[in-house]
Amino acid sequence: MALKVAVIGATGSVGKQTLEVIDRFPDKFVPTLLVGGKNVELLQILGKKYGCSVFSPWLHGPAELPLDKLESSDIMVYAASTVDYLNYMSHFLGLGKPVCLSTKEIIVEAWPLIESFSGLIRPVDSEHSALWRIGAKEPGVKSIYVVGSGGSLRDRKREEIENATLDQVLSHPVWNMGPKVTFDSAFLINKSMEVIEASHLFNLRGEQISIVIERTGSIHALVDFVDGSRNVFFSKPTMLIPIAYALSYPSILPLDEETVRQPGDALGYRLDKPDFDRFPWGKLGHYALELGYTSRMAFSVADEIAFECFKDKIMKPSDIYDFLVKAIEDYRAISYPESITEYFSLRHDMIEKMWKEVRAI
Ligand SMILES: NC(=O)c1ccc[n+]([C@@H]2O[C@H](COP(=O)([O-])OP(=O)(O)OC[C@H]3O[C@@H](n4cnc5c(N)ncnc54)[C@H](OP(=O)(O)O)[C@@H]3O)[C@@H](O)[C@H]2O)c1
């Protein structure tokens, strides 16, 4: 019997690739509910194509998701660029059903509220999927490496980074992703988010996690064990592999993607330390880990605002750095919310306060 799949963020980059995996294995998966945002036209086309329910706030207003469709699904893919559906995700997990989670903002911001379901959460972010596959959840892990390709500004000088245009920032050399994550990648903010994500998902301390750069996007993660051994994960830079793995775990689907080069070429890959002088944003994940859960949440919320401000030319990259550091520090002493309702209330307050600060700049 095909697994019934609910896709939150079906019209986005990861959402569309999820549907591509589903299309390749129609005997294994069938979409039951597709949730999208502004791109209502595409959502309706997809709904017709799969003969399934669709939901968008731009189509249905502030109505609720069709809960019966959600509850009758076997598995959820959460790939929306918003945390708004956290309560639905938590409800789904509460039914004992697995969630393939791409939206790293949820893992960074809301981990204490979903941690009890960690056995049902399957990472989709490519680095974390790779870490999962090569043993980061197993006993005996010493340290791990979150690998990045360096983002769109990787070859730019400090002054060029400071004056980068939106077009330059959104031209990723390796990955074709949605705008917010591409912006985050350009400044290594994405790697900072991923350090926090890895710490939460694999229960590791900040000092056990390092960022490394591999320019071709062929190495996604490394795990070092206490016996001195090291696992490395190679694959083409495609999201199809992590999405398919999360959907089909523990089995591996015959995606037949081309293997990256030949194993004999492995020594030709180069791993570099990130240049934190040019990319100081890449250190903020460790800083937020040090200062606690509410600081991590504030970092992610502030980053959402920073992206808007960068697009509107209100903030330059150095302003973004100061803004993110301030957010992390401002919330260090604030206790973390105890429920999803309290989380959304704190999030709302953070957003209001941060926008006030922006307007005062
Ligand atoms: N893209 C990648 O390769 C990649 C890799 C790793 C992790 N991720 C993570 O996956 C998440 C999604 O990234 P993406 O690149 O796929 O983003 P994206 O292309 O911008 O897509 C975002 C999706 O969320 C939907 N959405 C936004 N607001 C919504 C709302 N209020 N209600 C319902 N749907 C809403 C969008 O709908 P509309 O387009 O219809 O507005 C779209 O379907 C991010 O957290 C990102 O960090 C992405």
How far is residue 142's CA from residue 113's CA, in Å, rounded to a whole number? 27
Angle at 290 between CA 289 and CA 293, to 5 degrees: 50
Tokens coding 7: 């896709």
Task: Look up residue 337 and give its DSSP letter.
Answer: P
Judge if the upstream peptide bond of residue 250 is cis by omega within 30 degrees of 0. Answer: yes
Is 127 assigned to a binding site? yes
Percentage of the residues of the chain whose pLDDT score is greater than 70: 98
Ligand 1, closest atom to CA 176? 3
Give the model confidence (pLDDT) of 261-313 as tens digits: 655 555 578 899 999 999 999 999 999 999 999 999 999 999 999 999 999 99
Ligand 1, closest atom to CA 43? 40
Strands, DSSP E only, in the chain?
A: 3-8, 29-35, 53-55, 75-78, 99-101, 121-123, 141-148, 209-213, 219-225, 230-234
Residue bearing tokens 């591409």: 182
Nearest CA owner, ligand 1 atom 6: 125
Looking from the CA of 192 toward its CB, the CA atoms found within 13 Å total 31
Q: Determine the pLDDT at residue 169.
A: 97
Q: Residue 173 pLDDT > 70, yes or no?
A: yes
Give the model confidence (pLDDT) of 311-327 as tens digits: 999 999 999 999 999 99
Q: Determine the pLDDT at residue 291.
A: 98
The CB of 37 under 6 Å from ligand 1? The reply is yes
Per-residue pLDDT, averaged over 245-259, amounts to 92
CB-CB neighbours of 289 under 10 Å? 24
Ligand 1, closest atom to CA 40? 40
Measured between alpha carbons, how far is residue 206 from residues 37, 211, 287 in Å?
35, 11, 9
Is 311 assigned to a binding site? no
Domains and CATH numbers, the chain: 3-97 (3.40.50.720), 129-360 (no CATH)
Q: Determine the pLDDT at residue 339.
A: 98
* Strand pairing report for 75-78 and 3-8: parallel
Phi, psi for 76 (deg, rounded to 5): -115, 140
Give the model confidence (pLDDT) of 71-81 as tens digits: 999 999 999 99
Q: Determine the pLDDT at residue 263.
A: 53
The CB of 104 under 6 Å from ligand 1? The reply is yes
Pocket test for ligand 1, best of 65, 104, 176, 177 (most atoms within 8 A of CB): 177
The CB of 54 under 6 Å from ligand 1? The reply is no
Q: Residue 260 pLDDT > 80, yes or no?
A: no
pTM: predicted TM-score of the whole model, two decimal places: 0.97
Q: Determine the pLDDT at residue 255.
A: 93
Per-residue pLDDT, averaged over 22-50, amounts to 98
Q: Residue 258 pLDDT > 90, yes or no?
A: no
Per-residue pLDDT, averaged over 247-256, amounts to 95
The CB of 102 under 6 Å from ligand 1? The reply is yes
Per-residue pLDDT, averaged over 19-28, amounts to 98
Q: Which H or E run contains 43?
A: helix 40-50
Angle at 130 between CA 128 and CA 245, to 5 degrees: 95
Phi, psi for 49 (deg, rounded to 5): -55, -45
